[in-house]
Structure 1
């Protein structure tokens, strides 16, 4: 069971006023947290959730307020589908209502106009948009980096570029240019959110053309694959996330120290190749500070604006 589905929700009953006052008292003492008017959850269960799971609980809290025919969309569909995001997950939940004349706002809930493509599945009885529709809708409304990240997520899961481009074009002019620009940057070879984020930043800084997941093969048959390769400049760029040295799934049975040593040997092999003129490591701190990234890349010999 997903952690968000295990969280018990308490709702006030307008008929049982004593029970409603008891929930309000428990919220004042900190035992419960208020999700929306008249809806609560245990504070300890809420504190244990990540941002996406909290958004899912907010969706459950808002379900009785949905209009007939509603379809979870945008951030709410993304939370169900496991689409990554850069910023914090919003408290506001989103649904599309086919045939609605204009968007409607309620406290913590937005009803959008549109005719959504449904996934064929439901979250607590309510359908949600499919992956392609969800990421295109988000890309039209997001920053360039966020758009690349969500679209890359879709193409890594087998969604065709043509399908995404067609959905972006069919949605009208608003946000279409942003989605189209982000699609030009997308590549299924971006293997992580960090690599997608870097690719977006590199495009914004007008870095030279680079090849994701380039392989160097030694005479002994050792294959070293790098995150990005700039063939004209002979420069390797690696996105260096901490999870490479901490995540058990990525360590493959090695210790963190063993992973660091293996990475050092790998870098030495790559640097020793005659076509390699430089090796640059980029981390998350560079990506969230574009000026720092620009200075770091230019200082390492990577041309950028």
Structure 2
């Protein structure tokens, strides 16, 4: 069971005012966290949840308010699908109710009007928009980088590009330019959020086409795969995040020290190739601040505006 589903929700009951006042006193004392009006959770359980899990708890809290036929959409559907996110998770939950005349807003909840939404799973008994629909609708909102991150996640999860393109063709004009740009940049070969973010920044800086996940093959049979390759310039560009050296799923049983040593040896082998003229390591602070990335690229001979 996901931690967000295991945490107990403590709801006030208008028929038991004494119990409601008791929960309010515990919240004022710092023992409880109020996730919405009249709904609390134990602080000790809340504080160990990551931000996405806390958002899923907020979704559980609003379920009694939802109309029949409601479907979780946008950020709420993205949370269920495990979509990565560049910014913090919001407090507001989003659902749509087909046939509703206009949007409705309550504290921490927006009920969107609209037509039928494709669904492929449920969360706590409420249907959830499928990943393709969620990625496309998310891509119409927010930043270009966030749009590409969402679309790349959908592609890596098995959504076919043609499905995204068909959905994009059916949306209205609002956000369509950003969506078109994001579809041109997204690529199933982007293996991480950092690589998706870097691909967006490179496009914004006017860098030449960078080939994702290029493979260098050696005489001994070994293969070194790099994040991006600029064939005309002979330059390798790698996104280097701390997760590579800290996440157990990426360490594959190795220590961080072993991983760093293996990474150095791989880089040395790639640098020794005759077609390689440069090797650039990009860090999170570079993609967050485009001027730093521009300076880094110019320093290493990567063409950009």
Please classify the TM superposition score into its range, dividing by the shorter chain length: over 0.9
C-alpha distance in 2 between matches for 1:40 and 1:253: 39
Correspondence for 1:164: 164
Runs of at least 4 residues off by over 6 Å: none
CA contact (8 A) 1:55 1:79 kept: yes
Shift of 1:102: 1.6
Query: For residue 150 of structure 1, what is the aligned residue in structure 2?
Result: 150
Equivalence for 2:217: 217
Matches of 2:82 and 2:136, distance apart in 1: 15
The equivalent residue for 1:127 is 127
User: Is 1:47 equivalent to 2:50 in the alignment?
Assistant: no
Structure 2 CA distance for aligned equivalents of residues 251 and 33 of structure 1:
35
* CA shift for structure 1 position 114: 1.6
Partner residue in 2 for 1:73: 73
Confirm or deny: 8 A CA contact 1:116 1:129 kept in the other structure. Answer: no
Name 1:197's counterpart in structure 2.
197
Asked if the contact 1:118–1:127 (Cα under 8 Å) also holds between the matched residues in 2, the reply is: no
What do the CA deviations read for 1:183-233 (whole angstroms, capped 9, x no partner)? Answer: 100111101111111111111111111100000111222211100000011
Residues 258 and 197 of structure 1: is their aligned pair in 2 closer, same or farther, counting only changes over 3 Å? same
Deviation, 1:274, is: 0.8
Distance 1:246 1:39 in 2: 36
Q: How many residues align?
A: 305
User: What TM-score, normalized to structure 1?
Assistant: 0.98
Match of 1:273 in 2: 273
* 1:39-70 deviation per Cα after TM superposition (whole angstroms, max 9, x unaligned): 11111111111111011100111111112211
For 2:242, the equivalent position in structure 1 comes to: 242
Unaligned 5+ residue runs, structure 1? none
- The Cα shift of 1:157 comes to 1.4
1:254 to partner: Cα distance: 2.0
Distance in 2 (CA, whole Å) between partners of 1:93 and 1:102 is 17
CA contact (8 A) 1:237 1:279 kept: yes
Name the residue aligned to 1:94: 94
81-90 or 250-259, larger mean C-alpha shift: 250-259
- The residue number in structure 2 matching 1:206 is 206
Distance across 1 between alignment mates of 2:168 and 2:142? 13
1:186 aligns with 2:186: yes
